[in-house]
Amino acid sequence: MNYLHAFHAGNFADVHKHVVLLALLAALKRKPTPMCYVETHAGAGRYDLTGPAAVRSGESNNGVRLVLTRGADEPVLADYRAAVAALNPDGGVHLYPGSPLMAANVLGPTDRVLLCEREENVANALKGVFARDERVIVHQRDGYEALKGLLPPPIRRGLVLIDPPWEDPQEAKKLLKHLAAGLARWDTATWAIWYPIKLRAEVQALHRGLKALEVKRGMLAAELCIHPDDSALRLNGCGVAVLNPPLGTERTLAAIGQILHPMLAQSRYARSELHILKPRP
């Protein structure tokens, strides 16, 4: 495995993914009943932005640091600002929370968190982050394969995040296969799928695969591009497909994109888009 998220923690793609994730969780939390959060590629849970990997890449300077400076008064970013501040009580931006920690920190005492991480060292770090949190179970195993055993959880309301490294040329095919099987097991959950944007043709192919899936409450894809989507040599943007989105998600995701893309743009071609892949019945 060559992908090391420590180099990319807090970059523009992390910001977009995490703001969307927190918005989805906030919508689901409007109901008082317990929920279960599941993540297939959980990572280490938190990242040192002062460490050599993050300093070397400098990606957080054009991500979380920009947003916290320029978006200080934006209500739609309030949960995100709070999540970062909770890990940095001195007011700086030294540590960055991964999606498992962001989710766990906003969930309640009766909610449950199931996390999968295949790499042993990373899984051990993740277990250390949640060593005292009885709501959280960390599985060191392949997240795709784990869906067979973990779903559906005893708590039948919840959210699944699939955020693979996308290094495998066959990742989209593999993701769609396991996503279809997961939906068959837990079709009432909200599913969030993160994907990179390099070439638009690749994104269109993924969208076609997603549209072929059976969902109960529609399907959206929120995208943020900071460069034109015409180069396979760099990350030009990112998207989050949301299957079975909570009510009001379309409006919220559109607002997130409109606020983030001018803040994070690195080209005059930067943009945000919201695709309705399947309308809500």
Dihedral pair phi/psi, residue 109, rounded to 5°: -70, -20
Residues in a beta bridge with 275 = 221
Backbone angles phi, psi at 263, to 5 degrees: -70, -40
Asked if residue 50 lies in contact with residue 275, where contact means CB atoms within 8 angstroms, the answer is no
Which residues are catalytically annotated? Answer: 163
Supply φ then ψ for residue 103, to 5 degrees: -65, -50
- Where helices occur in 58-142 by DSSP H, the ranges are 64-70, 78-87, 99-106, 120-129
Distance of CA 117 to the CA centre of its chain: 15
Look up tokens 């799928």; give the residue.
193
